[in-house]
A and B are shown apart, each in its own frame.
Chain A
Amino acid sequence: MQTLIYFILVPMVYIAFATFFIGTTIRLIKIFREPKHPTTLQIYPEKKPQWLWALHDTFLFPSVRRHKPMLWVFLMLFHICLLLLIIGHLELFGEFAIFQVIPHGVILGQGYVGLIIAISLLYFLFRRFLSPARELSVPEDYYLLILLFLIVIFGSEMDWARRWYEYDGMTVEEYREYLMSLLLQPYLPETVTESGHSFMLVLYIFFANLFIIFFPFSQSMHSFLSLPMNKLRRG
């Protein structure tokens, strides 16, 4: 058991990040090396400035807003909460003055960010059991959503216990210690492996690693490709 826990918390993390960096780099290079399309892929009417409208399309999904407003609301909530979570996780590596523009404790949102994102994921998952999303979905769609939901649920649980139930068996500092140690000399503090919440942490890191490994081979690559695609579309 101890070796399994160690494997998940240390070597698997290295494997995950290596796969992620090498995988995404190779995939992006392959895509950008493809020959240029012979005609323009621009749609009309033209709206200028084109780069600004490309950004607008990428981050505000106007077509979705027009045709599926409910889905649009959950999509916006999901992506905004995702951004907040990314900022929060960066803060686990250290203090960044820029993020503390609005002073807050580490991991923004008082636990509500995790809750909102969990509900959004359930919405995305369950809409795929109804037509027409059901006919258009492939197994990857369901796997990805379930995986993300597991990550969010285990991760948020740690946050909720700390915020709402005053659990202090495992603190942010100890987590930071473990995380920073991964860079040079892996060290697992006792509370990380032995406290009551350790199984939550280990499962969380396990599923997160799976997601990171899966990332370059999945539709999550839209995070890199959405902006270039919209730029092509706008001219």
Chain B
Amino acid sequence: MLVKGTSIELFKEGFFDGVKRLEAEMVEKWQTEAGQTAIPVDVEGADLLYVALAGAHSIIPAAAIFNAAGENWTLSFFEAVNFGAFVGDPSKTKLILERIVNEAKRLKVKEVCVCECGTAYRVMKQLSGKQSFKVTSITEVHVRYLREGRIKLDRSELSGPITYHDPCQIARNAGVMNEPRYILQHITDDFCEMSREPKYNWCCGGGGGLVALGEETLDFRMKSASVKVDQVKATGAETLATACENCHTQLSNLNDHYKMGVAVKFLSSMVADALVP
């Protein structure tokens, strides 16, 4: 009997096709070693399981960086975002979380790397319990690659002052605060902080997922986040980097509404663009 959301086997074929199309897009920009699959899927025995969002922007740059670092990785069938957590339903949160945990166990990976999504990272990190794999955010993984010299970044790629917005779920609620700054120091000479200490950066106002749930909240979100706009404008930055999907959406909304005049970018895409082959 066909039940919505449970017939995983049926969508695998379509998924593989989609991945192939993404691979074609990828190799245009980033060279892949001969014989290496640009985006490996369902690889048992991989070291790292990367859980992405349902969007090319979440998969392609990350894949480029994993390949450049020579990582033994595999892409997850599932998307990282936990809609159960967004709507506050504990049983659905658990259900969505367990799909990924079970896949990690089946593929016997050592590490589950969560994409740039605040709730996904926090739920995976703090609710998955004791497992044989460790949970990291993609920002932390990139810092590791930089430290170990597995990837090299070109400082001249980006121009203009850059500032960074800390997603609540990743920074204040989960502790990933120094890593993005370490990365940005390698990408640019012109990095400026929004406030004295990262913990004083305002929340974007996206409501931890409300952004993803519809346009009805747009008005309220714009009104309540005017303090964030002031903070961003005060830095004089041209690029606003962040590491969370919903923050990116909210900040883009704010950019349009308040005419902040910044380019809102994902940190991972900035790293991918700055990669030295």
Give the interface of A toward B (CB within 8 A). 38-40, 43-46
Q: When chains A and B are docked, how far (Å) is the Cα of A44 from the Cα of B173?
A: 6
Is B45 an interface residue when CB atoms closer than 8 A count as contact?
A: no
Give the interface of B toward A (CB within 8 A). 90, 122, 126-127, 171-175, 177, 198-199
Does the CB pair B199–A38 fall under 8 Å? no
User: What are the residues of chain A within 8 A of B172 when measuring CB–CB?
Assistant: 43-44
Does the CB pair B175–A39 fall under 8 Å? no
Q: How far in angstroms is the closest Cβ of chain A from B93? A: 9
Does the CB pair B199–A45 fall under 8 Å? yes
User: Could you say which of A38, A39, A40, A44 contacts B171, with CB atoms under 8 Å apart?
Assistant: A44
Q: When chains A and B are docked, how far (Å) is the Cα of A31 from the Cα of B218?
A: 38
User: What are the residues of chain A within 8 A of B90 when measuring CB–CB?
Assistant: 38
Q: How far in angstroms is the closest Cβ of chain A from B132? A: 20
Q: How far in angstroms is the closest Cβ of chain B from A109? A: 38
Does the CB pair A45–B127 fall under 8 Å? no
Q: How far in angstroms is the closest Cβ of chain A from B208? A: 13
Q: When chains A and B are docked, how far (Å) is the Cα of A40 from the Cα of B174?
A: 9
Q: When chains A and B are docked, how far (Å) is the Cα of A38 from the Cα of B88?
A: 13
Q: How far in angstroms is the closest Cβ of chain B from A165? A: 52
| Chain A to chain B: the 9 pairs with minimum beta-carbon distance, closest first | A44-B175, A39-B126, A44-B172, A43-B172, A45-B177, A40-B126, A39-B127, A45-B199, A38-B127
Q: When chains A and B are docked, how far (Å) is the Cα of A46 from the Cα of B176?
A: 10
Sample 21 A-B pairs with CB under 8 A, ordered by A number.
A38-B90, A38-B126, A38-B127, A39-B122, A39-B126, A39-B127, A40-B126, A43-B172, A43-B173, A44-B171, A44-B172, A44-B173, A44-B174, A44-B175, A44-B177, A44-B199, A45-B175, A45-B177, A45-B198, A45-B199, A46-B175
Q: When chains A and B are docked, how far (Å) is the Cα of A40 from the Cα of B173?
A: 9
User: What are the residues of chain B within 8 A of A45 when measuring CB–CB?
Assistant: 175, 177, 198-199
User: What are the residues of chain A within 8 A of B175 when measuring CB–CB?
Assistant: 44-46
Q: When chains A and B are docked, how far (Å) is the Cα of A197 from the Cα of B127?
A: 63
Q: When chains A and B are docked, how far (Å) is the Cα of A45 from the Cα of B127?
A: 20
Q: How far in angstroms is the closest Cβ of chain A from B61? A: 26
User: What are the residues of chain A within 8 A of B122 when measuring CB–CB?
Assistant: 39
User: What are the residues of chain A within 8 A of B177 when measuring CB–CB?
Assistant: 44-45
User: What are the residues of chain B within 8 A of A43 when measuring CB–CB?
Assistant: 172-173
User: What are the residues of chain B within 8 A of A46 when measuring CB–CB?
Assistant: 175
User: What are the residues of chain B within 8 A of A40 when measuring CB–CB?
Assistant: 126
Q: How far in angstroms is the closest Cβ of chain B from A79? A: 26
Q: When chains A and B are docked, how far (Å) is the Cα of A43 from the Cα of B173?
A: 5
Most buried by B among A38, A43, A44, A45: A44
User: What are the residues of chain B within 8 A of A39 when measuring CB–CB?
Assistant: 122, 126-127
Q: When chains A and B are docked, how far (Å) is the Cα of A43 from the Cα of B175?
A: 8
Q: When chains A and B are docked, how far (Å) is the Cα of A188 from the Cα of B90?
A: 60
User: What are the residues of chain A within 8 A of B174 when measuring CB–CB?
Assistant: 44
Q: When chains A and B are docked, how far (Å) is the Cα of A114 from the Cα of B175?
A: 45
Q: When chains A and B are docked, how far (Å) is the Cα of A40 from the Cα of B90?
A: 15
Q: How far in angstroms is the closest Cβ of chain A from B96? A: 15
What residue in chain A is nearest B178 (Cβ atoms)?
A: A45
Q: How far in angstroms is the closest Cβ of chain A from B144? A: 19
User: What are the residues of chain A within 8 A of B126 when measuring CB–CB?
Assistant: 38-40
User: What are the residues of chain A within 8 A of B173 when measuring CB–CB?
Assistant: 43-44
User: What are the residues of chain A within 8 A of B199 when measuring CB–CB?
Assistant: 44-45
Q: When chains A and B are docked, how far (Å) is the Cα of A208 from the Cα of B64?
A: 71
Q: When chains A and B are docked, how far (Å) is the Cα of A43 from the Cα of B172?
A: 6
User: What are the residues of chain B within 8 A of A38 when measuring CB–CB?
Assistant: 90, 126-127
Q: How far in angstroms is the closest Cβ of chain A from B1? A: 32
Q: How far in angstroms is the closest Cβ of chain A from B198? A: 7
What residue in chain B is nearest A43 (Cβ atoms)?
A: B172
Q: When chains A and B are docked, how far (Å) is the Cα of A96 from the Cα of B90?
A: 54
Q: How far in angstroms is the closest Cβ of chain A from B122? A: 8
Q: How far in angstroms is the closest Cβ of chain B from A28? A: 27
Q: When chains A and B are docked, how far (Å) is the Cα of A44 from the Cα of B122?
A: 13
Other A-B pairs, 19, CB within 8 Å; known A43-B173, A44-B199: A38-B90, A38-B126, A38-B127, A39-B122, A39-B126, A39-B127, A40-B126, A43-B172, A44-B171, A44-B172, A44-B173, A44-B174, A44-B175, A44-B177, A45-B175, A45-B177, A45-B198, A45-B199, A46-B175
Q: When chains A and B are docked, how far (Å) is the Cα of A191 from the Cα of B120?
A: 71
Q: When chains A and B are docked, how far (Å) is the Cα of A46 from the Cα of B126?
A: 16
Q: When chains A and B are docked, how far (Å) is the Cα of A22 from the Cα of B73?
A: 60
